[in-house]
Structure 1
């Protein structure tokens, strides 16, 4: 199961219980070397080659499948640039609404943390990142 960030929890309460509207931003995947937690306090990867990767082609809605039983998964391969500086171990991933800064929406641990050496590339094949709400 994927965790909601505190930001998204508050947005959902405002939309569903208080009559507010919500306009999401982009859909970007970020990598972490520690648990980002609901408060977005973890350590995002720091490497001169690293950048969050856009999950969608042209509009945010084409980045993940239509929801089915509370789940949605990525609709295309997501490939991060090669590691440049030093070995890193990626333990978690998260969805943000901006390529830099922005708000974390969801987060989850990797099933198998990945240790990457310089020149290694981390990728997520279509369907391998699943967000499940329950």
Structure 2
């Protein structure tokens, strides 16, 4: 790719993004421009712990665990927020997961939730 961030700028942006928008919410479809569409029945947001960005990528350094999930559904997306409730929407992405049944535990293991930015080549 010939356009994008410098690696240093991408790392700075990702570190700021992960710090500011650390609360993760699950969705069963694209969260949309406001981050509120297709919300999962499981409404609890979990706070992500991120490693430092490197090479224009950043990943979680601890498991995100939802216990006793509220509904039977298939999580396909996540959104990032500034707070455990309310707050400001900062972005979204996709997750690949097996469907869950109500009362299951759902885990996104450390290193499995990633943020990346394109880098100029």
TM-score class, shorter? 0.7 to 0.9
TM-score by length of 2: 0.72
CA RMSD of aligned residues (A): 1.8
Matching residue within 92, 97, 102 for 1:107: 92
State the partner residue of 2:78.
Answer: 93
State the partner residue of 1:37.
Answer: 32
Offset from partner CA, 1:5-60 (integer Å, 9 cap, x none): xxxxxxxxxxxxxxxxxxx646111100110123324222124xx411111xxxxx
Change (3 A) 1:25 1:131: closer
State the partner residue of 1:117.
Answer: 101
| Distance in 1 between residues matched to 2:115 and 2:89, nearest whole Å | 14
Change (3 A) 1:104 1:26: closer
| Distance in 2 between residues matched to 1:116 and 1:35, nearest whole Å | 18
> How many residue pairs were aligned?
100
Matched position secondary structure for 1:116: coil
Where structure 2 has 5 or more consecutive residues not aligned to the other structure, the ranges are 1-18
Where structure 1 has 5 or more consecutive residues not aligned to the other structure, the ranges are 1-23, 56-62
More strand by share: 1
Question: RCO (CA 8 Å, sep 6+): is it higher in 1 or 2?
Answer: 2
State the partner residue of 2:47.
Answer: 54
| Distance in 2 between residues matched to 1:101 and 1:95, nearest whole Å | 11
TM-score by length of 1: 0.66
